[in-house]
């Protein structure tokens, strides 16, 4: 069963030349770094309200992130800032 708190993502690039860096660390640091370019922004939308899809001229980034979650986080941040002023 998938943990609901985890986020799934995918990156699809039109060419390997748009990939800047991929680092998979070994040893005690179990980290990964993926860098590249999606190119000029074409569109950023939520697919069926469930997946944030950022489309660039050179690729697509998809993140398992619901639209209402972003609204909730934004609201919480606004409340936090208002109460700290």
pLDDT tens, 13-68?
999 999 999 998 877 778 889 999 999 999 999 998 889 999 999 999 999 988 88
What confidence score (pLDDT) does residue 70 get? 83
Longest dimension (CA), the chain: 47
Give, rounded to a whole angstrom, the gap between the first and last alpha carbons of the chain.
42
Whole-angstrom distance, CA of residue 73 vs CA of residue 60: 24
pTM for this one?
0.74
Q: Is 66 helix (H, G, I), strand (E, B) or coil?
A: coil
Contacts 24+ apart (CB under 8 A), 44-52: none
């Amino acid at each position: 069963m998938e943990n609901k708190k985890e986020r799934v993502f995918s990156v699809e690039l039109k060419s390997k030349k748009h990939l800047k860096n991929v680092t998979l660390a070994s040893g005690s640091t179990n980290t990964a770094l993926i860098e590249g370019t999606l190119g000029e922004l074409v569109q950023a939308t939520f697919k069926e309200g469930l997946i944030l899809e950022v489309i660039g001229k050179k690729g697509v980034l998809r993140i398992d992130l619901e639209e209402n979650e972003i609204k909730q986080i934004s609201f919480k941040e606004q409340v936090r800032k208002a109460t700290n002023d």
